[in-house]
Protein backbone atom coordinates (compact mmCIF):
# COMPACT_ATOMS: atom_id res chain seq x y z
CA UNK A 1 0.00 0.00 0.00
CA UNK A 2 1.38 3.39 -0.99
CA UNK A 3 1.83 6.13 1.59
CA UNK A 4 1.95 8.75 -1.16
CA UNK A 5 -0.43 11.68 -0.65
CA UNK A 6 -3.52 11.47 -2.90
CA UNK A 7 -2.75 14.78 -4.64
CA UNK A 8 0.78 13.60 -5.50
CA UNK A 9 -0.58 10.28 -6.78
CA UNK A 10 -3.09 12.14 -9.01
CA UNK A 11 -0.27 14.35 -10.27
CA UNK A 12 1.98 11.33 -10.95
CA UNK A 13 -0.78 9.64 -12.97
CA UNK A 14 -1.41 12.79 -15.02
CA UNK A 15 2.33 13.35 -15.58
CA UNK A 16 2.59 9.80 -16.94
CA UNK A 17 -0.54 10.25 -19.08
CA UNK A 18 1.00 13.38 -20.64
CA UNK A 19 4.35 11.63 -21.24
CA UNK A 20 6.16 13.80 -18.69
CA UNK A 21 9.71 12.62 -18.05
CA UNK A 22 10.51 14.49 -14.85
CA UNK A 23 11.43 13.12 -11.47
CA UNK A 24 9.04 13.76 -8.59
CA UNK A 25 10.83 14.69 -5.38
CA UNK A 26 9.07 14.84 -2.02
CA UNK A 27 11.03 17.10 0.27
CA UNK A 28 10.97 16.73 4.05
CA UNK A 29 9.59 20.22 4.65
CA UNK A 30 7.10 22.37 2.80
CA UNK A 31 8.65 24.36 -0.05
CA UNK A 32 5.81 26.84 -0.51
CA UNK A 33 8.07 29.64 -1.73
CA UNK A 34 10.44 29.68 -4.68
CA UNK A 35 13.35 30.60 -2.40
CA UNK A 36 12.72 27.61 -0.11
CA UNK A 37 12.33 25.26 -3.05
CA UNK A 38 15.52 26.53 -4.71
CA UNK A 39 17.45 26.14 -1.47
CA UNK A 40 16.19 22.59 -0.95
CA UNK A 41 16.96 21.61 -4.56
CA UNK A 42 20.27 23.44 -4.90
CA UNK A 43 19.19 25.47 -7.93
CA UNK A 44 18.69 29.12 -8.81
CA UNK A 45 15.42 30.65 -7.66
CA UNK A 46 14.71 31.59 -11.30
CA UNK A 47 14.53 27.87 -12.21
CA UNK A 48 11.51 27.41 -9.96
CA UNK A 49 8.24 27.60 -11.90
CA UNK A 50 5.73 29.10 -9.50
CA UNK A 51 2.15 28.09 -10.31
CA UNK A 52 0.14 31.20 -9.48
CA UNK A 53 -3.63 31.10 -9.75
CA UNK A 54 -5.45 34.34 -10.44
CA UNK A 55 -9.15 35.17 -10.46
CA UNK A 56 -10.22 36.79 -13.73
CA UNK A 57 -13.79 37.85 -12.94
CA UNK A 58 -14.64 34.43 -11.52
CA UNK A 59 -12.60 32.35 -13.97
CA UNK A 60 -9.22 30.86 -13.04
CA UNK A 61 -6.01 31.76 -14.85
CA UNK A 62 -2.77 29.92 -14.08
CA UNK A 63 0.54 31.72 -14.62
CA UNK A 64 3.70 29.60 -14.54
CA UNK A 65 6.25 32.22 -13.59
CA UNK A 66 9.93 32.12 -12.78
CA UNK A 67 10.63 32.33 -9.07
CA UNK A 68 12.78 35.35 -9.93
CA UNK A 69 9.73 37.34 -11.09
CA UNK A 70 6.63 38.99 -9.73
CA UNK A 71 3.60 39.04 -12.00
CA UNK A 72 2.55 42.50 -13.16
CA UNK A 73 -1.17 41.76 -13.07
CA UNK A 74 -2.16 44.87 -15.03
CA UNK A 75 0.30 44.10 -17.84
CA UNK A 76 -0.56 40.39 -17.95
CA UNK A 77 -4.34 41.01 -17.86
CA UNK A 78 -4.03 43.33 -20.85
CA UNK A 79 -1.76 40.86 -22.65
CA UNK A 80 -4.10 37.89 -22.26
CA UNK A 81 -7.28 39.86 -22.87
CA UNK A 82 -9.00 39.87 -19.48
CA UNK A 83 -10.20 43.01 -17.68
CA UNK A 84 -8.41 42.27 -14.41
CA UNK A 85 -6.39 39.62 -12.57
CA UNK A 86 -6.66 39.32 -8.81
CA UNK A 87 -4.70 36.93 -6.60
CA UNK A 88 -7.07 34.02 -6.00
CA UNK A 89 -8.29 33.12 -2.54
CA UNK A 90 -7.39 29.65 -1.16
CA UNK A 91 -10.91 28.21 -1.64
CA UNK A 92 -10.98 29.42 -5.27
CA UNK A 93 -7.56 27.80 -5.91
CA UNK A 94 -8.63 24.48 -4.40
CA UNK A 95 -11.96 24.53 -6.28
CA UNK A 96 -10.31 25.03 -9.68
CA UNK A 97 -7.07 23.05 -9.26
CA UNK A 98 -7.92 20.43 -6.64
CA UNK A 99 -4.70 21.51 -4.91
CA UNK A 100 -3.67 23.94 -2.18
CA UNK A 101 -1.70 27.16 -2.57
CA UNK A 102 2.00 26.29 -2.39
CA UNK A 103 1.46 22.94 -4.08
CA UNK A 104 -0.43 23.83 -7.27
CA UNK A 105 0.99 21.89 -10.18
CA UNK A 106 0.87 22.95 -13.83
CA UNK A 107 -1.37 19.93 -14.61
CA UNK A 108 -3.75 17.44 -12.92
CA UNK A 109 -6.63 19.83 -12.30
CA UNK A 110 -10.28 18.69 -12.23
CA UNK A 111 -10.96 20.70 -15.42
CA UNK A 112 -8.64 22.57 -17.80
CA UNK A 113 -7.38 25.92 -16.47
CA UNK A 114 -6.15 28.54 -18.98
CA UNK A 115 -2.39 28.55 -18.45
CA UNK A 116 0.41 30.91 -19.50
CA UNK A 117 4.17 30.52 -19.06
CA UNK A 118 6.85 33.09 -18.25
CA UNK A 119 9.39 33.36 -21.10
CA UNK A 120 12.18 33.67 -18.50
CA UNK A 121 11.92 29.92 -17.75
CA UNK A 122 13.45 29.20 -21.19
CA UNK A 123 16.83 30.16 -19.71
CA UNK A 124 17.08 26.99 -17.63
CA UNK A 125 17.88 23.46 -18.78
CA UNK A 126 15.96 22.08 -15.79
CA UNK A 127 12.89 23.73 -14.31
CA UNK A 128 11.25 22.64 -11.06
CA UNK A 129 7.50 22.96 -10.45
CA UNK A 130 5.07 21.85 -7.76
CA UNK A 131 3.73 18.32 -8.00
CA UNK A 132 0.32 18.77 -6.41
CA UNK A 133 1.43 19.13 -2.78
CA UNK A 134 3.42 21.82 -0.90
CA UNK A 135 6.30 19.41 -0.21
CA UNK A 136 6.43 17.83 -3.69
CA UNK A 137 8.17 19.13 -6.80
CA UNK A 138 9.11 17.67 -10.16
CA UNK A 139 11.86 18.32 -12.65
CA UNK A 140 10.93 19.27 -16.18
CA UNK A 141 11.99 21.49 -19.03
CA UNK A 142 10.45 24.63 -20.47
CA UNK A 143 9.54 22.78 -23.68
CA UNK A 144 7.95 19.91 -21.75
CA UNK A 145 5.89 22.34 -19.64
CA UNK A 146 4.63 24.02 -22.80
CA UNK A 147 3.83 20.64 -24.39
CA UNK A 148 1.98 19.35 -21.31
CA UNK A 149 -0.01 22.54 -20.64
CA UNK A 150 -0.42 24.13 -24.07
CA UNK A 151 0.60 27.38 -22.37
CA UNK A 152 1.45 30.38 -24.55
CA UNK A 153 4.61 32.25 -23.61
CA UNK A 154 4.15 35.67 -22.01
CA UNK A 155 6.21 38.40 -20.37
CA UNK A 156 5.08 38.70 -16.74
CA UNK A 157 7.06 41.76 -15.62
Residue 56 confidence (pLDDT): 97
The band of 30, judged by pLDDT with boundaries at 50, 70 and 90, is low
Residue 5 confidence (pLDDT): 87
Instruction: Read off the pLDDT of residues 126-145 as tens digits, 9 standing for 90 and up.
Output: 999 999 998 899 999 999 99
Residue 93 has pLDDT above 50, yes or no: yes
- Listed in sequence order, the residues at least 6 apart from 67 whose beta carbon sits closer than 8 Å to its beta carbon are 34, 35, 37, 38, 45, 46, 47, 48, 49, 50
Instruction: Tell me the domains of the chain and their CATH numbers.
Output: 6-154 (3.90.960.10)
The answer to whether the Cα torsion of 39, 109, 66, 61 is positive or negative is: negative
Residue 36 confidence (pLDDT): 83
Residue 28 confidence (pLDDT): 72
Instruction: Read off the pLDDT of residues 35-58 as tens digits, 9 standing for 90 and up.
Output: 888 998 999 999 999 999 999 999
Amino acid sequence: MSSEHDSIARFRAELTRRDGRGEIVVLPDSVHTAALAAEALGCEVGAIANSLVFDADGSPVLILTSGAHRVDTTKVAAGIGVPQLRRAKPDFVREHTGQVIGGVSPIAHPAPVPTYIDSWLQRYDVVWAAAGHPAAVFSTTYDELVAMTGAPTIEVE
